[in-house]
Amino acid sequence: MHIDLTQGVIKNHIIKLAVPAVVGYFFHTMFNVTDTYFAGQLSTQALAALSLSASVFFMVLAIGIGMSEAVTSLVGNALGEKNIPKAQHIALNAIAFAVLLSVVLSVLGVGSVPYLVEALGDPSYRTETLDYINLILYGAVFFVGAFFFNALLNAVGDTKSFRNVLIVTALLNIILDYLFITYFGLGVGGIAMATIIAEAITMFYLLYRVRQTKLWSGMSNFRYDGHVMKALLKQGVPPSVNMFMMAFGMYIITYFVADFGKEAVAGFGIGMRIEQIFLMPVIGLNIATLAIVSQNNGAKAYERITPTLRLAIRYGWVMSTIGVSAFMLFAEYFASLLTSDALVIKQTALYLRVSGVASYGFVVIFLYIAMLQGIGKPSVIMPVSIYRQVIAPVLVFSALAWMGMGILSLWIGLDMIIFSSALFLWLYGERKLKNLEV
């Protein structure tokens, strides 16, 4: 399967790529929601442990996610040039890169987790956190492999395969969580074990699908290429840092939220998972925009790039309006589906109603980042990410803590940080687009 995104109606391409991706990532998020639900059946400490683990684990895997986006961009540009052998060569080197990367991430993750957990200074859920995250990290190869194989499929216009396997594994995860917790009494370790099994199935299925595309020429044809590896790093480091900083930003937020108690930490974790459901369309649009822009940039069909971006943003803002409205009306109800703790429900609803508004800013951030990656200009992503995820939160949240402000002020400050980042990326991205079309 190979869809030529340099021809045809842009609207149709966006819908054809984004909708399956949205459905797939919806089930991926429901996968996480399932874990949150079963953790809630264990204890509030288990909920807090998953909230902390999410940020720590994502910091480790963020590098893999960012690098996989570089694969989509490089392979997509090669396909746009109609150079299939080049695309195959990049794909094989990318797979080799993924194997090495997964080993490094496992080692770094296991070594750093105890220090990150200890830094929060709350021992009440330390044991649960380590039981979950250490087991997950040993399976990093399955997560990284799935990201890279899916990136290759995205480059050829296949977002359906990821959707299909995520639907199956999301349902499987429900069964495994129930068995491991209810019958085997494995606690949060059982939740981690279920996740690893599901991710292994995901990776091997996506590998099978890649082998059926034009990108696969067989590992016997693999030839190490330092230039491709350098290109992967050049394209992959900025989005990797962006993804890493997103995860580290979650950790920083958790650090400041921890001062308000484990209920606040649990509420933040539940709120993020619910928020992710409503951000699924934006992620689908991000994937579609990256694939379309990459191929058209490679084909030098620059006149198709701006219309792609404009249309994707329009769709994203419509979906954001639906999400924000739902948060305002049904925040407590959404939270009550995952916990019966009244304080946790209250904290979750507060987060959703205030921080949910930032989804409009996320639309701009995600789609302009996708466009910049697609045209091979990702360098600005890194400094913006460091500002949005580290510098601004530390300065703003520290000032709010020093003034003795409540948790509401944290969520308002977070909105301001996100919208200021979106404004900068919009101004910068528009300038790059004008230069591209000259």
Q: Using 50, 70 and 90 to split pLDDT, how confident is the model at 357? A: very high
423-427 contacts, C-beta under 8 A, 24 or more apart: 423/364, 424/384, 425/364, 425/365, 425/368, 425/369, 425/380, 425/384, 426/364, 426/368
Most confident of 50-54, 59-63, 394-398: 394-398
Q: What's the pLDDT score for residue 390? A: 87
CB 82 within 8 A of CB 101: no
Q: What's the pLDDT score for residue 51? A: 66
Residue 7 φ/ψ, nearest 5 degrees: -125, 160
Cα torsion angle, 198, 199, 204, 208, sign = positive
Q: Which two tokens stand for residue 250?
A: 């979650």
CA 232, chain centre distance (Å): 19
Q: What's the pLDDT score for residue 415? A: 93
Decide: pTM greater than 0.85: no
Q: Which of 3-12, 116-125, 195-204, 286-295 has the lowest mean pLDDT?
A: 116-125
Q: What's the pLDDT score for residue 224? A: 86
Can you tell me the distance from the alpha carbon of 113 to that of 102, in angstroms, rounded to the nearest whole number?
A: 16
In a domain, 1, yes or no: no
Report whether pLDDT(334) > 70.
yes
Report whether pLDDT(373) > 60.
yes
Can you tell me the distance from the alpha carbon of 65 to that of 58, in angstroms, rounded to the nearest whole number?
A: 9
For residue 146, the enclosing domain spans 10-437
The region that residue 216 occupies, defined by phi over 0 for left and psi between -120 and 50 for alpha, beta otherwise, is beta
Q: What's the pLDDT score for residue 246? A: 73
If you search the block for the tokens 């292994």, which residue do you land on? 200
The four Cα atoms 370, 88, 103, 197 give a dihedral, to 10 degrees, of 80
Tell me the pLDDT tens digit for each residue of 165-181: 888 988 898 899 889 88
Q: Going along 255-366, which residue ranges are E strands?
A: none
In a domain, 308, yes or no: yes
Q: What's the pLDDT score for residue 422? A: 93
Q: Which of 28-42, 197-211, 229-243 has the lowest mean pLDDT?
A: 28-42
Three-class SS state of 388: helix
Tell me the pLDDT tens digit for each residue of 266-301: 888 888 878 877 887 888 888 888 888 888 888 888
In a domain, 5, yes or no: no
Report whether pLDDT(121) > 60.
no
Can you tell me the distance from the alpha carbon of 10 to that of 310, in angstroms, rounded to the nearest whole number?
A: 11
Q: Which two tokens stand for residue 127?
A: 């044991």
Compute the average pLDDT of residues 383-397: 89
String of DSSP letters for 146-187: HHHHHHHHHHTT--HHHHHHHHHHHHHHHHHHHIIIIIS--T
Task: Tally the domains of the chain.
Answer: 1
Tell me the pLDDT tens digit for each residue of 223-258: 888 888 888 888 778 777 777 777 777 778 888 888
In a domain, 4, yes or no: no
Can you tell me the distance from the alpha carbon of 73 to that of 76, in angstroms, rounded to the nearest whole number?
A: 5
Q: What's the pLDDT score for residue 438? A: 56
Q: What's the pLDDT score for residue 424? A: 94
Angle at 62 between CA 394 and CA 314, to 5 degrees: 85
Q: What's the pLDDT score for residue 360? A: 93
Q: What's the pLDDT score for residue 420? A: 94
In a domain, 140, yes or no: yes
**Is residue 129 exposed (0-12), middle (13-18) or buried (19+ Cβ within 10 Å)?**
buried
End-to-end CA distance of the chain: 34
String of DSSP letters for 357-377: GGHHHHHHHHHHHHHHHHTT-
In a domain, 116, yes or no: yes
Report whether pLDDT(315) > 80.
yes
Three-class SS state of 215: coil
Residues 6+ apart with CB under 8 A from 388: 245, 249, 365, 417, 418, 421
In a domain, 72, yes or no: yes
Q: What is the DSSP letter of 297?
A: H
Q: What's the pLDDT score for residue 122? A: 59
In a domain, 192, yes or no: yes
Report whether pLDDT(200) > 90.
yes
* Average pLDDT of the chain to the nearest whole number: 83
